[in-house]
Structure 1
Amino acid sequence: MALTLAVAALAAGCADTAGIASHARMRDAAQAGVPVTTTSTNDFAQVDAQWWRAFGDAQLDMLEQQALAANPNLQVARARVARALAATGVAEAAGRPQLSGDAQLLRQRYSENYIYGALGGTVQENGTLQLNGSWELDFFGRNQAAIQAAVGSARAAEADAQAARILLATNVARSYIQWARLEAQRDVARRTLAQREETLRLVRDRVSAGLDTQLEQRQSEGGLPEARQQIEALNEQIDNAKHALDALVAAPEATARLTPPSLAALKAVPLAGQIPVDLLARRPDVAAARWRVEAAARDEDSARAQFYPNINLTAFVGTQSIGFDRLLKSGSLQWGVGPALHLPIFEGGRLRANLGGKAADHDAAIESYNVAVIDAVHEVADQVSSARSIVRQQAEQSTAQRAAEDAYQIALQRYQAGLGTYLNVLTAETAVLAQRRQAVELSARALDTQASLARALGGGWAGEPSATAKTAALNESAAAR
């Protein structure tokens, strides 16, 4: 055993891995363009795991629960987690003692021209019963690195599953808001139709009284088909939005049993003044990218350890005899124990090429992490900017709508009194309808942006997957390093 270890130590000094290593570096917050602040996490930034409840709609809450329970894409993500955890178990098993059993009963004719002597030319019955054991001594950390890589991949899969959950919840909320937006737009279109029908009655009365001509009447009649067409187009879009929700919750006709949502009833979530930088670390997609860096680094360590000797302790015990009747007698006992050493001497460049590939994978994982961080910063900045801008736009639009409504009433009153033309009424009405539609769009955008911002801030994810035995294994591995 001492000689084996001496040979292994000598061979380890001869392993040639020069010039092969990962060179990429993970970006910190400052390099990603995030201003570091000591501001504590505020109420809005502390996104609740069920953040959609802040909208105050029981139907939306029910749809979210259905989607999270039954959506097939989420089940696929959970299956990937189970597969990654199984791979971790396989990696852990490689470093544990192995035990196997062999049993063989054979009737055999022995060659007359070989080493069997008196047995040559005879037919005998051979029997073997044996237990075989082996244990790979991981002196150079190859198995340990493989375990750490598998744990990192499993943690990344868990984070990916959480990212899929958050994306699904966001899509359900956004689709529901879209449905509410279309319902509100249809209400505006119906009000438009009613308004134009009322105006047509007024014009006809004026034509009958000789106060208007057929020109004004035809102008008024032309607006009715246009309003009906807008309503029909919105009906189509509403059906499509409901179909999308049905697909997300994996329940056909789920929305058919619901009351059309009210955009005005959905509560707006106030925007915080500042977003703490540590929230980016709680995004599951960023965490998954970070764990893939960990897995790739350990894969590189495992590939580097393949340059060093592989040392195993092997042992066997059992019985072997010629003639089945003597197989279980004490004289048939055999056993053996000793070290086994596998030393790579010339691999034709295979080990260096493998290490080079793992180093490249490590670089790619680091740069993918950097991209994830930059994209996260970009996404949060966009949503915050949009949310603040929409608040300002809504204030201006509200003022503009009040002015348009007042102008319309004045134009209509002047027309009824014979002091203005119908063209003035149409112009004022067009401005009012445009403002009503704009109000609906801004309200829907505000809610949609809040849903997107909740996802951008991590969707209420705690920051890391729950502790498991795999987590403990990773911590032990890190301590060992």
Structure 2
Amino acid sequence: MKRSVIYSLCLPLSFLVAGCAPGHDTAAALSPTVPTARIETGLAAGQWPKNEWWKTFHDAQLDSLIAKALADAPDMQIARQRITLAEAQAKMAMAAGGPQMDFSADAERQKMSAEGLMGPFALTDPAAGTTGPWYTNGTFGLTAGWDLDLWGKNRAQVEARIGKVNAQKAELEQTRQILASSVARLYWDWQTQAAMESVVNAIKHEQQNIIAADRELYQQGITSSVEGVETDINASKSDERLAEIQGKKRAIEARLAALTSAPTVTLSPQPLPAVNTTLPASLGYELLARRPDLQEAHWYIEASISEVDAAKAAFYPDVNLMAFLQQDALHLSDLFRSSAQQMGLTAGLTLPVFDSGRLNANLDIAQAQSNLSVANYNKAVVEAVNQVTRAASEVETLMAKNQHQRQVEADAARVVALAQARFNAGIIAGSRVSEAKIPALQEQIAGLTLKGQYIDATLQLTSALGGGYHNG
């Protein structure tokens, strides 16, 4: 008798020790090459670029365009809805691991079979308490259950969902930075074109002065009509240049309207920002930690690791507690009697023994997805470093070109000043001053082109450094 009791106690323990579905080794886990927490340089915290970096331009027109794009752009709406969905899924995962209680009630009208297991109830026998064959039975009460999650499977799934919520928040910030950068680049391109349009109009004005002077000399018989043909051709080329600039401005306005979800965009010319002479003291990894795309990849790694933990925990037994408190009666008239009360407490054990490899396959999938997340992160870090390096090099090159161009413009301005002085002294005609001004104005166009390229390069560098994004 004692031996049978011992056997009965040992049998469940044997299932616990040896009954789990056999696991196997998965592919080796990859490691991030440069964790975001260690992406640092000596650049002081809070230095350029800032979170709302576009406000450093102090341009209300630009601020308004970016604010409208961030509020109304479809991409932002999609990113916000993804966060809402991820948060709801995280709440669902949290709720799944907690205790649950349900209230239920039902009533049933049935006829008992005299030939079945409940055959005695099909008879009418007052002595036995049967009033068959028809009965109206009812049940109502509370049922509660709780998965104890001893191995942390539910907790790992919750952590995975939270990681995905954080990843979606980083994606929202990435969308925000891309939109802001796109609007700013288009805006300053428009301002560059507007500044060039003003200079081309000035060139055309000087060309008209020369044409008028040539015509007057021709009418007086001093020159032939052939001598003014070249100036006429150049004036026509200026008209072509103006048409080209105006076409670019309209195209930019259309793209800005699309980004801001506005019917039309009307802009007024503003001065272009000054060209800096130096970059920040150090440009390396420090601000890369603020890049939303790297933060997004980082959080996907965290989520995938939790999913691997959940897949491993699935090999272990689930322990559930269930309890019920009900009223149950064969006749509705007896349903509320104290004798109709029933209650119980159950401890349930679910142990995977044989599953045709499903659990192992699920673990392999989770580990492969985790390794893929790490590989994507490593690739994103390498691309981010290269992007910053290229953008910083381009900015430095354009700073040097702008500095040289300023010297060229200064030299051209001295030629104009000399021509103006000679005209004031009566040595040369006014048309010669116009001829001296045209090359100087053309150098101004070259300078505006370089300045526009510099502004665009700085915006790309700001975007490459995460735009000042910070998590939290």
Q: TM-score range by the shorter chain?
A: 0.7 to 0.9
SS at match of 2:140: strand
Change (3 A) 1:458 1:159: same
Change (3 A) 1:40 1:241: closer
Give the C-alpha shift of residue 108 in structure 1.
Answer: 0.9
Q: Is the 8 A contact 2:21 2:354 kept in 1?
A: no
SS at match of 2:268: coil
* One-letter amino acid of the counterpart of residue 402, structure 2: Q
Q: Is the 8 A contact 1:11 1:308 kept in 2?
A: no
Q: Distance in 2 between matches of 1:381 and 1:444?
A: 20
* One-letter amino acid of the counterpart of residue 74, structure 2: P
* One-letter amino acid of the counterpart of residue 262, structure 1: P
* One-letter amino acid of the counterpart of residue 376, structure 1: A
Give the C-alpha shift of residue 250 in structure 1.
Answer: 2.3
2:30 to 24, 30, 55: 24
Structure 1 residue 296 and structure 2 residue 307: aligned? no
Give the C-alpha shift of residue 398 in structure 1.
Answer: 1.9
Q: Is the 8 A contact 1:55 1:267 kept in 2?
A: no
Q: Distance in 2 between matches of 1:268 and 1:58?
A: 20
What's the counterpart of residue 446 of structure 2?
Answer: 438
Structure 1 residue 231 and structure 2 residue 242: aligned? yes
What's the counterpart of residue 378 of structure 1?
Answer: 386
Deviation string 1:335-380 (CA, Å, 9 cap, x unpaired) is 2212112222221122111111111100110011111211221222
Deviation string 1:409-456 (CA, Å, 9 cap, x unpaired) is 889989x9899xx9xx98x88854542222111111222222222222
Q: Distance in 1 between matches of 2:34 and 2:245?
A: 47
Give 1:275-424 correspondences, 5 Å limit: 275=283, 277-404=285-412
Give the C-alpha shift of residue 209 in structure 1.
Answer: 3.8
Deviation string 1:287-346 (CA, Å, 9 cap, x unpaired) is 110000010111111112112212111111101111111111111111221211222222
- Higher alpha-carbon Rg: 2
Runs of 4+ in 1 over 6 A off after TM superposition: 2-5, 408-414, 416-419
Change (3 A) 1:212 1:164: same
What's the counterpart of residue 97 of structure 2?
Answer: 95
Give the C-alpha shift of residue 72 in structure 1.
Answer: 2.6
Q: Distance in 1 between matches of 2:214 and 2:143?
A: 102
Q: Distance in 1 between matches of 2:10 and 2:354?
A: 22
Give the C-alpha shift of residue 404 in structure 1.
Answer: 4.5
Q: Where in structure 2 are there 5+ consecutive unaligned residues?
A: 1-8, 123-131
Structure 1 residue 260 and structure 2 residue 269: aligned? yes
SS at match of 1:274: coil
Q: Is the 8 A contact 1:290 1:369 kept in 2?
A: yes
Q: Is the 8 A contact 1:179 1:261 kept in 2?
A: no
Q: Percent identity?
A: 29
SS at match of 2:468: coil
Structure 1 residue 185 and structure 2 residue 196: aligned? yes
Q: Is the 8 A contact 1:67 1:169 kept in 2?
A: yes
Q: Is the 8 A contact 1:129 1:318 kept in 2?
A: yes
Q: Is the 8 A contact 2:21 2:352 kept in 1?
A: no
What's the counterpart of residue 129 of structure 1?
Answer: 140
Q: Where in structure 1 are there 5+ consecutive unaligned residues?
A: 466-481
Aligned-pair Cα RMSD in Å: 3.0
* One-letter amino acid of the counterpart of residue 288, structure 2: L
What's the counterpart of residue 141 of structure 1?
Answer: 152
What's the counterpart of residue 75 of structure 2?
Answer: 73
Change (3 A) 1:72 1:267: farther
SS at match of 2:55: helix
What's the counterpart of residue 10 of structure 1?
Answer: 17
Q: Distance in 2 between matches of 1:158 and 1:384?
A: 28
Change (3 A) 1:442 1:98: same
User: TM-score, structure 1 length as denominator?
Assistant: 0.85
Q: Distance in 2 between matches of 1:232 and 1:70?
A: 32
Give the C-alpha shift of residue 85 in structure 1.
Answer: 0.9
Give the C-alpha shift of residue 64 in structure 1.
Answer: 2.4
Give the C-alpha shift of residue 406 in structure 1.
Answer: 5.3
Give the C-alpha shift of residue 180 in structure 1.
Answer: 0.3
What's the counterpart of residue 125 of structure 2?
Answer: none
Q: Distance in 2 between matches of 1:92 and 1:211?
A: 95
Q: Distance in 2 between matches of 1:179 and 1:5?
A: 77
User: TM-score, structure 2 length as denominator?
Assistant: 0.86
Q: Is the 8 A contact 2:24 2:360 kept in 1?
A: no
What's the counterpart of residue 86 of structure 1?
Answer: 88
Q: Distance in 2 between matches of 1:3 and 1:182?
A: 86
Q: Distance in 2 between matches of 1:70 and 1:116?
A: 68
Q: Distance in 2 between matches of 1:166 and 1:4?
A: 62
Q: Is the 8 A contact 1:284 1:461 kept in 2?
A: yes
Q: Is the 8 A contact 1:405 1:432 kept in 2?
A: yes
Q: Distance in 1 between matches of 2:11 and 2:458?
A: 65
How many correspondences in the alignment? 449
**Which deviates more, 327-336 or 243-252?**
243-252
Q: Distance in 2 between matches of 1:56 and 1:94?
A: 50
SS at match of 1:459: helix
Q: Distance in 2 between matches of 1:5 and 1:163?
A: 54
Change (3 A) 1:43 1:125: closer
